[in-house]
Amino acid sequence: MSQMRKDIFSGEWVIFASNRKDKPYSYKHSNKIEENDKNICPFCPKNENLTPPTVYEIKNGDNWEIRVFENMYPAISPTDYESDNDNFYESIYGYGIHEIVVDTPEHTMDMSNFSNERFVKLFKVFIERIKFMRSQNNIEYIQIFKNNGPLAGASISHSHWQIMGISILAKEQERMLEAFKEHKNKTQRCIMCDIVKHEIEVKKRIISQNDFFVSLVPYASRQSFEVWIIPKRHVSTMPLLNQNELEALVSIFRDMIKRVQSLRDGISFNVCFQEEAKSFPNGLFHWYIKILPRIGTLAGFEQGTRCFINPVIPEFAAEFYRKK
């Protein structure tokens, strides 16, 4: 069962997915990948029968290189709605598509060791899945993400990504939309294009750049050492990136992953691809990637106020990354 309930005070949606409490967990008591659970890893080749059927794959001869299937324990689903029949609060059916993308057949391969070619193929798989999900009715927003390591929420150590197509606009996207709209109305320009221009001028928070992309620590990042990778050209959705841009993205992305991993041995982190929502005015949004190292935790003040205390000033974080 999957149901979404709206918080009556914040207007934020919460997904309730009671089927997920039984999902397997392959990390024991350490951050390290378990080497000995290969036989039962559902993401390894020859264990495909332990997962739902393949919906998309990249083959290399008889074997798959990248495999996409529906999540065994979806947080949202196209079926099984159970209403709570409560008319005082707002709730909707937790409709959506929740897919897993296994990006390597090798059980213990870390993404930082992928070749450029594998990343280009992987990003093209994302583009195909975005196009597919955008073509489905009732899908409003598509979140591509990777939980790298147990502290980032990964439950299975074999490298993989997730794609969730959801039927609502989450508060985060709603706020982004407002900021993009407001800036456009005031200046006729894109707020993210202006951020990129400003950051390149002042240099303080830039980590690296190539012809097509820039990586930086955002001015008011809520989490320590947060990184954004932003295309220099105004691109509203990932499928609009051209071949040269995809290759440049792979090179800056790989480089940033290595720099993030230099923060701490075995560090957990999340990667989020921020897409244009379907109901955004066409072309208004500016696509980008967020990388969020898991350092520290939400403490009482953050829990009470939703106001984050970040002990690392972004200019320092950028300087640290630049030296790596």
Interface residues with Zn ion (CB under 5 A) are 41, 43-44, 107, 158, 190, 192-193, 234, 286
Q: How far is residue 92's CA from residue 115's CA, in Å, rounded to a whole number?
A: 42
**Is the CB of 6 or the CB of 234 nearer to Zn ion?**
234
| Single-letter code of the amino acid located at 199 | E
**Is the CB of 170 or the CB of 193 nearer to Zn ion?**
193
**Is the CB of 98 or the CB of 158 nearer to Zn ion?**
158
CB of 29 to Zn ion, least distance (A): 19
**Is the CB of 43 or the CB of 145 nearer to Zn ion?**
43
**Is the CB of 46 or the CB of 59 nearer to Zn ion?**
46
Task: Tell me the helix, strand and coil percentages in the chain, rounded to 5.
Answer: 30, 25, 45
**Is the CB of 37 or the CB of 70 nearer to Zn ion?**
37
Chain centroid to CA 146:
5
**Is the CB of 230 or the CB of 260 nearer to Zn ion?**
230
Q: Tokens for 26?
A: 């392959």
DSSP per-residue string spanning 166-184: ESS--HHHHHHHHHHHHHH
CA angle 201, 205, 211 (to 5 degrees): 60
Q: Is the dihedral of CA 14, 20, 26, 29 positive or negative?
A: positive
Q: Which of 95, 89, 71, 88 is nearest to 3 (CA)?
A: 95
**Is the CB of 43 or the CB of 123 nearer to Zn ion?**
43
Q: Residue 174: which residues within 8 A CB-CB, separation 6 or more? A: none
CA angle 284, 286, 211 (to 5 degrees): 135
Q: How far is residue 1's CA from residue 3's CA, in Å, rounded to a whole number?
A: 7
CB of 156 to Zn ion, least distance (A): 8
CB of 108 to Zn ion, least distance (A): 8
CB of 195 to Zn ion, least distance (A): 9
CB of 15 to Zn ion, least distance (A): 27
Chain centroid to CA 261:
17
Beta carbons of 60 and 6 less than 8 angstroms apart: no
How many CB atoms neighbour CB 187 within 10 A? Answer: 10
**Is the CB of 86 or the CB of 211 nearer to Zn ion?**
211
CB of 243 to Zn ion, least distance (A): 20
CB of 286 to Zn ion, least distance (A): 3
CB of 89 to Zn ion, least distance (A): 38
CB of 95 to Zn ion, least distance (A): 30
| Single-letter code of the amino acid located at 324 | K
Beta carbons of 41 and 130 less than 8 angstroms apart: no
| Single-letter code of the amino acid located at 161 | W
